[in-house]
């Protein structure tokens, strides 16, 4: 436990909300005992698939004090990225988080400014920001800091704005007042589990990345999507939003983001696999400049488009020739 006089967290929260973060909460920087045991269990089951980077730095992931010596507080931040746009009916689908500019770039700029202002305000203290940019468990901190709970689909849901939010943190040795963790509000619902076309949510709160379309189309580096999943891609070309689309908390509480950089690039809402087949490397680089889609690389997007074309001709989709 920390000792001495705590700093009023209101100042930090006000500054973060002025910078556009809709959700701000603060947790004690301590060891994530329960969550790191769950991470170990998740890894031991092989649910990280080929994301070997998830196996590294587990000690640092477990304790922010190993990232910043003397850390006292973790400021958890949430940024809404929801927009009301829809894919065209026949479009190959890109998930919402990738419709506009890459959040690592957009939020990285804001976080850098925020940390600079905090450092000026509290010259004797240190501040480190993360936004899926290092060995930090973004969702665990969001729950502990009270900004949302981890739903059965394993994404963080805010009671106020749902789950279409990016998460970030500032780790600091400033001793701030802490918030209470958020409690679970999934209840008996299992809409996400039932809607997942590949049964990737193997148990409530437990996701097997090997089966998740988001992994298969983004992080996966294999030359082909495994045949068993091809008929079930449900037109997803990059990422997947199904488990969040069906969540009652999003249906009721999602509200448009005020961040113009997250608005969809028009062409991302109406793409055909044929457009991808015909796309050159140069066109790919130009079209997806500053976009998260770059993560899967040219080869990955081509592979995904091939799988969608193959899937639309598979027997499961009614083509019994
Ligand atoms: C690896 C990763 C992935 C992997 C694995 C996903 C996963 N569930 O872990 C893949 C590639 C599949 C993925 C997909 C997506 N991701 Co991702 N991903 C991450 C990353 C880098 C690490 C997550 C992690 O630590 N996983 C390890 C396991 C152990 O954690 P977990 O599933 O969250 O498990 C927790 C609980 O479920 C629970 N738990 C685990 N096991 C058990 C067992 C029992 C019995 C119980 C009760 C509880 C329990 O405890 C765990 C620890 O708290 C984070 C960024 C970061 N640095 O944190 C982004 C992050 C989670 N991703 C994000 C996003 C946006 C997505 C996608 C929506 C993108 C898309 N549209 O395609 C999808 C969502 C898919 C889904 N249903 O989760 C956001 C989520 C924002 C939010 N509101 O929660 C994050 C936080 C990035 C960010 N900074 O904004 N992602
Ligand atoms: S992102 Fe898609 S494939 Fe992954 S768990 Fe959610 S619904 Fe299933
Ligand atoms: S769909 Fe239902 S079970 Fe799944 S995360 Fe949302 S509220 Fe929880």
User: Do 229 and 311 share a structural domain?
Assistant: yes
Question: Which ligand does the CA of 154 lie closest to?
Answer: 1
The answer to whether residue 179 sits within a structural domain is no
212 CB near ligand 1 (under 6 Å): yes
Is the full-model pTM beyond 0.75?
yes
Give the pLDDT score at 1. 42
All residue ranges of the chain with pLDDT < 50 are: 1-2, 315-321
Closest Cα to atom 2 of ligand 3? 189
Give the pLDDT score at 128. 98
Q: Of 144, 172, 200, which residue constitutes the final position of a domain?
A: 172
User: Do 199 and 102 share a structural domain?
Assistant: no
CA of 219 to the centre of ligand 1 (A): 13
Catalytic member of 8, 33, 113, 132: 132
CA distance 202 to 272: 31
Which residues pair with residue 73 across a beta bridge?
28, 172
User: Do 160 and 41 share a structural domain?
Assistant: yes
User: Do 140 and 17 share a structural domain?
Assistant: yes
Nearest atom of ligand 3 to the alpha carbon of 157: 5
- The residue segments making up the domain with residue 242 are 191-254+265-317
User: Do 231 and 106 share a structural domain?
Assistant: no
The answer to whether residue 45 sits within a structural domain is yes
Give the pLDDT score at 213. 98
Give the pLDDT score at 81. 98
Distance set, CA 199 to CA 48, 129, 159 (Å) = 15, 34, 26
Of 213, 230, 246, the one to substitute when testing ligand 2's pocket (max ligand atoms within 8 A of C-beta) is 213
The answer to whether residue 184 sits within a structural domain is no
Question: Which ligand does the CA of 189 lie closest to?
Answer: 3
Q: Of 121, 144, 172, which residue constitutes the final position of a domain?
A: 172
Can you give the three-state secondary structure of 159-228, one letter per residue? CCCECCEEEEEEEECCCECCCCCCCCCCCCCCHHHHHCCCCCEEECCEECHHHCHHHHHHHCCCCCCCHH
The answer to whether residue 113 sits within a structural domain is yes
Give the pLDDT score at 313. 62
User: Do 228 and 109 share a structural domain?
Assistant: no
User: Do 226 and 135 share a structural domain?
Assistant: no
Give the pLDDT score at 92. 96
Closest Cα to atom 59 of ligand 1? 132
The answer to whether residue 177 sits within a structural domain is no
The answer to whether residue 4 sits within a structural domain is no
The answer to whether residue 18 sits within a structural domain is yes
User: Do 145 and 274 share a structural domain?
Assistant: no
User: Do 312 and 273 share a structural domain?
Assistant: yes
User: Do 155 and 22 share a structural domain?
Assistant: yes
User: Do 37 and 127 share a structural domain?
Assistant: yes
Number of domains in the chain: 2
Give the pLDDT score at 5. 84
């Amino acid at each position: 436990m920390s000792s001495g006089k705590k700093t009023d967290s209101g100042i930090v929260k006000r500054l973060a909300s002025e910078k556009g973060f809709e959700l701000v909460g603060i947790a004690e920087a301590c060891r994530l005992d329960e969550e790191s045991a769950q991470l170990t269990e998740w890894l031991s089951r092989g649910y990280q698939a080929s994301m070997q980077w998830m196996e590294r730095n587990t000690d640092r992931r477990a304790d922010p004090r190993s990232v910043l010596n003397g850390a006292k507080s973790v400021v958890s931040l949430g940024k809404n990225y929801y927009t009301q746009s829809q894919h065209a009916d026949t479009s190959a689908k890109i998930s919402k988080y990738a419709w506009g500019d890459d959040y690592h770039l957009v939020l990285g700029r804001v976080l850098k400014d925020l940390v600079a202002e905090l450092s000026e305000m509290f010259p004797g203290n240190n501040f480190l920001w993360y936004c899926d940019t290092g060995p930090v468990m973004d969702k665990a901190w969001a729950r502990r800091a009270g900004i949302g709970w981890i739903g059965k689909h394993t994404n963080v849901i805010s009671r106020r704005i749902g789950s279409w939010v990016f998460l970030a943190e500032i780790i600091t040795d400033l001793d701030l007042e802490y918030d209470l963790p958020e409690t679970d509000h999934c209840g008996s619902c299992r809409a996400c589990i039932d809607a997942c076309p590949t049964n990737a949510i193997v148990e409530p709160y437990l996701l097997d990345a090997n089966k998740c379309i988001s992994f298969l189309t983004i992080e996966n580096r294999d030359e082909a999507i495994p045949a068993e999943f091809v008929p079930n891609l449900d037109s997803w070309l990059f990422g997947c939003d199904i488990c969040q689309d069906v969540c009652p908390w999003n249906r009721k509480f999602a509200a448009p983001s005020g961040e113009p950089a997250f608005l969809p690039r028009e062409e991302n809402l109406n793409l055909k696999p044929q457009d991808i087949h015909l796309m050159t490397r140069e066109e790919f680089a130009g079209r997806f400049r500053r976009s998260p889609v770059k993560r899967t690389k040219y080869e990955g997007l081509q592979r995904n488009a091939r799988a969608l074309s193959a899937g639309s001709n598979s027997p499961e989709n009614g083509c019994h020739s």
